[in-house]
């Protein structure tokens, strides 16, 4: 059941940019006009831009760009599980693990993460309000041999979503889980799973996606400022809700193709930025230089090491660093 605040946001979302009277809102929800006014104070304090037209009502400004359940739902083309939106969490992946009993496609979104997690034990910088950080719960019925595709299908989905919303950004995928624009990272994906050893099936999978939409206030920290970027410098209308929903729509649709032939791998390969590049392959302490020759139908990286040895890399414990073209 939606609470009163969610219902007010829903009414405003359906009337973006238009005047709507306090009386209509009050009647639709069954509360007093004074209560509406109080909720509007709360929404304003949460960052919504709502103006008052004397004698006419309220205007929920078209430009509002605040993440909300109702705002996300507006763009969704399928039935998700619950959608939770928080101002600040430790990590949306970790929080979703505590809700793993819920239905598939339950989603947790946050405006900020205190301990955003990246692959291989790294952290993911998740500052307040300039990015979106969200995790989705899925319960695959296919075997764990397809696990790589959970991440690679998501990477393709993020690129598709960016292409649908923005013109000409040309996002590319850096194997295996980074989305890059102009060779800088704008998004990372972390897939975590619990599976049953007995039957080689997943109990559940959590796919976490962090997207830098705007430049963080004060810029990116020194340690990532040369490698991180954002989708836009301009304030965009309702971009946060839109990007979360578009990624979910794309992912829901591609997810249904996992296990059906080479479709995901071919999309992934088309969006890869690493084929033909010189890279350093990093596995724990070991670093080896190689050239990327191809990506195969299991989304593995086919490389030739500088000493002539051939390699076929599954993501597991491996990451790569792409060298600048000479």
Residues lying near ligand BTN in the complex (CB under 6 A) are found at 91-93, 113, 116-119, 122, 124, 126, 133-135, 177, 188-190, 208-210
Residue 249 vs 319, nearer CB to ligand BTN: 319
The distance of closest approach from Cβ of residue 132 to ligand BTN in the complex, given in angstroms and rounded to an integer, is 8
The distance of closest approach from Cβ of residue 200 to ligand BTN in the complex, given in angstroms and rounded to an integer, is 25
The distance of closest approach from Cβ of residue 324 to ligand BTN in the complex, given in angstroms and rounded to an integer, is 20
Closest by CA to 208, choosing from 145, 124, 282, is 124
The distance of closest approach from Cβ of residue 230 to ligand BTN in the complex, given in angstroms and rounded to an integer, is 15
The distance of closest approach from Cβ of residue 270 to ligand BTN in the complex, given in angstroms and rounded to an integer, is 22
Other CB atoms within 10 A of residue 5 CB: 14
Residue 237 vs 317, nearer CB to ligand BTN: 317
C-alpha distances (whole Å) from 194 to each of 134, 147, 201 are 18, 11, 9
The DSSP bridge partners found for residue 230 are none
The distance of closest approach from Cβ of residue 224 to ligand BTN in the complex, given in angstroms and rounded to an integer, is 10
Closest by CA to 171, choosing from 241, 182, 131, is 182
**Cβ atoms of 230 and 222 closer than 8 Å:** no
The distance of closest approach from Cβ of residue 71 to ligand BTN in the complex, given in angstroms and rounded to an integer, is 18
CA distance 289 to 273: 17
Encode 251-290: b = buried (16+ Cβ within 10 Å), e = exposed. bbebbeebeeeebbbebbbebbbbeebbbebeeeeeeeeb
Residue 12 vs 124, nearer CB to ligand BTN: 124
Residue 208 vs 216, nearer CB to ligand BTN: 208
Closest by CA to 315, choosing from 305, 326, 296, 304, is 296
Residue 107 vs 254, nearer CB to ligand BTN: 107
The distance of closest approach from Cβ of residue 41 to ligand BTN in the complex, given in angstroms and rounded to an integer, is 31
* Cis before 176 (ω within 30): yes
Residue 41 vs 314, nearer CB to ligand BTN: 314
CA distance 274 to 154: 18
Only one residue has tokens 């194997």, namely 175
Token pair for 252:
């829901």
Residue 173 vs 189, nearer CB to ligand BTN: 189
Residue 12 vs 134, nearer CB to ligand BTN: 134
Residue 8 vs 111, nearer CB to ligand BTN: 111
The distance of closest approach from Cβ of residue 185 to ligand BTN in the complex, given in angstroms and rounded to an integer, is 7
Encode 73-100: b = buried (16+ Cβ within 10 Å), e = exposed. bbebeeebeebbbeeebebbbbbbbebe
CA angle, 176 then 181 then 187, to 5°: 50
């Amino acid at each position: 059941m939606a609470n009163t605040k969610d219902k007010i946001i829903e009414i405003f979302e359906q009337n973006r940019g238009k005047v709507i009277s306090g009386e209509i809102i009050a009647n639709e929800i069954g509360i007093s006009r004074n209560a509406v006014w109080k909720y509007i104070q709360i929404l304003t304090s949460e960052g919504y831009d709502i103006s008052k037209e004397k004698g006419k009502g309220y205007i929920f400004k078209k430009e509002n760009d605040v993440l909300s359940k109702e705002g996300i739902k507006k763009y969704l083309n399928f039935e998700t599980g619950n959608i939770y939106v928080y101002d600040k969490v430790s990590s949306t992946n970790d929080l979703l693990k505590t809700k793993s009993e819920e239905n598939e496609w339950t989603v947790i979104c946050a405006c900020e993460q205190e301990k955003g997690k990246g692959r291989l034990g790294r952290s993911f910088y998740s500052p307040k309000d300039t990015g979106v950080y969200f995790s989705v719960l899925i319960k695959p019925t296919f075997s764990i041999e397809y696990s790589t595709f959970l991440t690679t299908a998501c990477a393709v989905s993020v690129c598709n979503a960016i292409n649908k919303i923005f013109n000409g950004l040309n996002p590319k995928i850096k194997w295996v889980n980074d989305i890059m624009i102009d060779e800088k990272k704008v998004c990372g994906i972390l897939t975590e799973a619990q599976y049953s050893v007995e039957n080689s099936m997943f109990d559940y999978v959590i796919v976490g996606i962090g997207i830098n939409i705007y430049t963080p206030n004060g810029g990116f920290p020194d340690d990532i400022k040369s490698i991180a970027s954002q989708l836009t410098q301009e304030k965009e209308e309702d971009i946060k809700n839109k990007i979360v929903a578009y990624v979910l729509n794309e992912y829901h649709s591609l997810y249904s193709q996992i296990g059906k032939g080479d479709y995901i791998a071919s999309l992934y390969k088309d969006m890869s930025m690493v084929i033909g590049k010189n890279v350093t392959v990093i596995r724990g302490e070991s670093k080896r230089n190689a050239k990327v020759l191809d990506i195969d139908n299991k989304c593995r990286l086919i490389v030739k090491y500088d000493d002539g040895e051939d390699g076929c890399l599954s993501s597991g414990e491996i990451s790569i660093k792409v060298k600048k073209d000479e």
